[in-house]
Structure 1
């Protein structure tokens, strides 16, 4: 069982699955990965259409899988809230259903031929740049999808994507809007400011013991220690077991013989084609006539590659002169495949071949046949595979022994001696974890603070940190939260009270200064000796001015003639600044055509996104949704 789990969670296939799910997320979200399989006990209906229980179950599974992949190899499924995920996925399914219904009502569609073409050109389904059916099926199988489910998924995504694109492409920005935004972005401001430093005030602040005691009495419940445990544990590592294994020549020879006995030579055919598609604009008869004419042109001596580039209706292969790559049987339709495997090397079909896509003119470029590798060629891979296999078998066997012995032992001494594993011990640590790799692991933390394990003093079951490491732990010390004493927290309380008093003092100073500015006094007079900084032509993106001041300056209203605008600004270091805006300078804008084009695209795209989101909201508000 453990071996099977590891085999299915490692390697390039697993990475491709994550990539596939990530691409689908970018297009529509996790809920778009669920199947169209109908089921009973529908958790919801949307405008009379059911969302099946199976849809919801598959959506939850896929969401959890995606979340665990994002959490990394230390992810613990027990940390996920199934109810929260289920509710989130159901809401996503409802939104998806609303959007699919809307797109269908608009007459949008995505044909089978287009889906086939998309599948053939998807990199995740290719090997060496060519579509590979085995790879396609493996990716879908590991994602919990069948080919039919995946095709329905693609169709739903593409029809809703078309409606979204309609909003994005129809949004526009008026020239006057562009000019206004460009002027605001280029606007500069003249300002002055000075700072009331916190440190000078802080030095004069005193906090009495009575104030500290009073604060402590009012906030006792805030001063609690964390619950803590100390553990001892055994660490089982596959790499350590692997270092003790030697692959013998006999094992290598036996593995090679098995390879030879099971090796199946496979004929591969490198082909190209020219497709004349049947469509609304070109019916069957017209497509057949065009394909016959192309056959005649080939017979007259025109180059197949050039003709494919110019005439083929398959855009993906046309760019490569019709090249379809090297493929075995089982990739193409039966009609196409029958004609291809009847050709001799360099030969082209004498008549067009009819399939569901249209008429094909097929050329066999080359024929290849796989050969059994020699022992020398296969030795390195065989040795690596054997070492992996043997170390995995040893690891699984030791892991099962560790589980059995730990379960029946009152401590870790017996499993330590039996399996020759060192007992490691930790200091006390809280639920937030420690800096040590083991005590920072979420899986370990979850088990270490398990109530039964703490109460009964039991050994845990093996906790798999990753595919090649596992620990068994035992709690040896447990400390419940307690109220801290005033001596433990007095320093922190004093700092808090000082910060409060500094803030109050600076606020009072700032209020007094603002009152004087309102009465007409100049900034220099109210600065009382503080250095007044004068900056002219400050831009929104200017980096030599603190962000707090820059933001405040561009929020202040434009001052009237012979007047100023002013405000007090809280600074990140606890100080306060008094800011005066003297003037606003509107720049003359002369945008280049490429700048206008770029700004228009960005603003229109933002409008389109907002319009589409508003449309989704309206659809959901108007939909008749029933939840069980």
Structure 2
């Protein structure tokens, strides 16, 4: 049960915050329609202004970040008014917290910054075996985010300082078990229900259809029968992979590259060894380790007397389950595969030699070196395919870097054609037919990328047929596209969609019959409860829906406990209608001590977030924060 709470913590947080603190809503005074000016002010924090251009840039960064982590996410969701408004709210919050951090003189010391950077996984991975930071890779990491190392560190320092504004509030919240139980009881309340479903499919045969009915339905439901907008396009792709195919490599370049990388290409020396392990953990009591050492010394003496008995003694005495049954054989391995003390001993032996007792973190080893595989140097011909591929990739990346600026500038400066840049860079103008604003079967390859489609179906691209800006897709790929033929969404003629109209009409009418039948039964069974024909009882809750539609579960949880058992009807839309009797509340299972501790900790975090939200609301009032665009789906304050 508590795994479910943990997995749905964001939902739970939202519900509990509503219970804990009064909600607050900021109402704007201007709509999106008044923001056509890119420099228009969309929000104010006292004297600080946020412009439309800053907001657009911020939202695009968030979109790019989300797409990188979830490439299959619907692009419409990211471009919706709600998503854009959420970006603006986050931007306002970030600016506000930065102002407060500065006024409260919250700073991050060099030591704290260093400690944070040392613990950051993306930076820790840039350290070499000696623990030193690879500065070239560090600069590349910063450059990938459009910054120098100094800029990256300044941003991290600023973020750490800003975090201090709310951190103390979030960390100070303490939840009692009573508070926790009350909140979780409300959220995880369970109810016993019985259901009778009325599904449209069972009523479809009862629907009477005439041509007049179908034509009337078509006329009143034209939005159901629109053809989506589509476009025929042409596009250019500049990518390193394509450039690599046309690169010719002189033989001398291949030979030189082979000689320069001979050491890297060579196969390391490998050694084959067998061992007898006597287990002794490094933190075991001294007496226990001494006992293990004594046993190992005794076995070493036995092996030296009769080296041929090594495999037999290993099978009988070794504590290594992976090798004991094979007489201690570990097969071939190269340097870096074993713990250091073991590896040092193996690579110091000659073939057939037996080591002294070797101590490691696992215990005590007796090692027999059974074979040596000398390092192999591959021939030029054997390595030629890989060498050529590596060289082509390197040269293609250099070419791409040299041509990228020309490509970007040309598609912008000559925005009504691709011919000049295609001829100049020896690129092929490609075509695609019937593309939609969102990926469909017609969208393949780069033309299925949401970033391309968003730019392609922008107002400027559709109305003026201009090339899109050069769009970077990663992996050294730039794309620009332009619409050559655009078809707006339109209602399809009745004759073309008559079959679809019939299907839709039958479905709508069957839904109506199902609902009417359900309502009739609801009235009958309310008057005569004993006549109700319902299914077997089952228990549902927010975290255990038992496969039932969400609307039905919500209706069960809304039922008044004082009126139970109570009969309710639930409209399930395309799934028909359901009659449900909510019989009783079912107490949730009593948590054990560990679960109680976990729930208190989770609820304390929620309380901390609620305190932080309340403080943030106070700060918005104090600093006279004003968002000057209307919140989606809400009317402006009057």
* TM-score normalised per structure 2: 0.55
For residues 612 and 586 of structure 2, the distance between their equivalents in structure 1, rounded to whole angstroms, comes to: 36
> Could you tell me which residue of structure 2 aligns to residue 195 of structure 1?
197
> Could you tell me which residue of structure 1 aligns to residue 583 of structure 2?
582
- Cα deviation, residue 600, structure 1: 0.5
Residues 1:616 and 2:616 are matched in the alignment: yes
- Cα deviation, residue 484, structure 1: 1.8
Partner-residue secondary structure (3-state), 2:206: coil
CA distances 1:72-101 after superposition (whole Å, capped 9, x unpaired): 5999xxx999x9999987765543343245
Residues 1:501 and 2:497 are matched in the alignment: no
- Cα deviation, residue 608, structure 1: 1.2
Residues 209/595 of structure 1: CA separation in 2 closer, same or farther (3 Å cut): same
> Could you tell me which residue of structure 1 aligns to residue 97 of structure 2?
99
- Cα deviation, residue 188, structure 1: 4.9
Residues 557/234 of structure 1: CA separation in 2 closer, same or farther (3 Å cut): closer
CA distances 1:550-603 after superposition (whole Å, capped 9, x unpaired): 44333322355xx7311012346523221112333446x654321211111111
Residues 256/91 of structure 1: CA separation in 2 closer, same or farther (3 Å cut): same
Q: 2:112 is matched with which residue: 114, 118, 124?
A: 114
CA distances 1:502-544 after superposition (whole Å, capped 9, x unpaired): 333233323322223332441xx244xxxx3121666665464
Residues 1:251 and 2:253 are matched in the alignment: yes
- The answer to whether the 8 A contact 2:240-2:393 is kept is no
> Could you tell me which residue of structure 2 aligns to residue 600 of structure 1?
600
For residues 461 and 540 of structure 1, the distance between their equivalents in structure 2, rounded to whole angstroms, comes to: 47
- Cα deviation, residue 150, structure 1: 4.7
- Cα deviation, residue 609, structure 1: 0.8
- Cα deviation, residue 206, structure 1: 1.5
Partner-residue secondary structure (3-state), 1:581: strand
> Could you tell me which residue of structure 1 aligns to residue 556 of structure 2?
553
Partner-residue secondary structure (3-state), 2:579: strand
- The answer to whether the 8 A contact 2:42-2:50 is kept is yes
Residues 486/609 of structure 1: CA separation in 2 closer, same or farther (3 Å cut): same
- The answer to whether the 8 A contact 2:436-2:443 is kept is no
For residues 452 and 618 of structure 1, the distance between their equivalents in structure 2, rounded to whole angstroms, comes to: 42
- The answer to whether the 8 A contact 2:46-2:625 is kept is yes
- Cα deviation, residue 483, structure 1: 3.8
Aligned ranges 1:461-540 → 2 under 5 Å: 467=475, 479=487, 481-522=489-530, 525-527=531-533, 532-535=534-537
For residues 448 and 65 of structure 1, the distance between their equivalents in structure 2, rounded to whole angstroms, comes to: 19
For residues 51 and 253 of structure 1, the distance between their equivalents in structure 2, rounded to whole angstroms, comes to: 61
Residues 1:67 and 2:56 are matched in the alignment: no
- Cα deviation, residue 201, structure 1: 1.6
Residues 1:437 and 2:445 are matched in the alignment: yes
CA distances 1:169-207 after superposition (whole Å, capped 9, x unpaired): 222223323343565577654433322232222210123
- The answer to whether the 8 A contact 1:186-1:586 is kept is no
For residues 84 and 501 of structure 1, the distance between their equivalents in structure 2, rounded to whole angstroms, comes to: 34
Partner-residue secondary structure (3-state), 2:445: coil
> Which of 478-487 and 164-173 deviates more?
478-487
- Cα deviation, residue 619, structure 1: 0.7
Residues 554/44 of structure 1: CA separation in 2 closer, same or farther (3 Å cut): closer
For residues 590 and 504 of structure 1, the distance between their equivalents in structure 2, rounded to whole angstroms, comes to: 44
- The answer to whether the 8 A contact 1:230-1:475 is kept is yes
Aligned ranges 1:321-336 → 2 under 5 Å: none
- The answer to whether the 8 A contact 1:171-1:604 is kept is yes
- The answer to whether the 8 A contact 1:228-1:478 is kept is yes
- The answer to whether the 8 A contact 2:568-2:580 is kept is yes
> Could you tell me which residue of structure 2 aligns to residue 225 of structure 1?
227
- Cα deviation, residue 416, structure 1: 9.4
Q: Using CA pairs below 8 Å that are at least 6 residues apart, which structure has the higher relative contact order?
A: 2
- Cα deviation, residue 213, structure 1: 1.9
- The answer to whether the 8 A contact 1:256-1:375 is kept is no
For residues 425 and 483 of structure 2, the distance between their equivalents in structure 1, rounded to whole angstroms, comes to: 20
What is the count of residue pairs matched by the alignment?
457
* TM-score normalised per structure 1: 0.56
Q: 2:396 is matched with which residue: 391, 398, 419?
A: 391
For residues 240 and 101 of structure 1, the distance between their equivalents in structure 2, rounded to whole angstroms, comes to: 49
Residues 236/216 of structure 1: CA separation in 2 closer, same or farther (3 Å cut): same
For residues 390 and 518 of structure 2, the distance between their equivalents in structure 1, rounded to whole angstroms, comes to: 74
For residues 456 and 131 of structure 1, the distance between their equivalents in structure 2, rounded to whole angstroms, comes to: 51
Runs of at least 5 residues in structure 1 that lack an aligned partner in the other structure: 1-40, 260-373
Partner-residue secondary structure (3-state), 1:620: helix
CA distances 1:151-183 after superposition (whole Å, capped 9, x unpaired): 554444334323423222222223323343565
- The answer to whether the 8 A contact 1:167-1:608 is kept is yes
Residues 617/211 of structure 1: CA separation in 2 closer, same or farther (3 Å cut): same
- The answer to whether the 8 A contact 2:98-2:162 is kept is yes
Residues 164/199 of structure 1: CA separation in 2 closer, same or farther (3 Å cut): same
- Cα deviation, residue 138, structure 1: 4.6
> Which of 201-210 and 428-437 deviates more?
428-437
For residues 553 and 566 of structure 1, the distance between their equivalents in structure 2, rounded to whole angstroms, comes to: 10
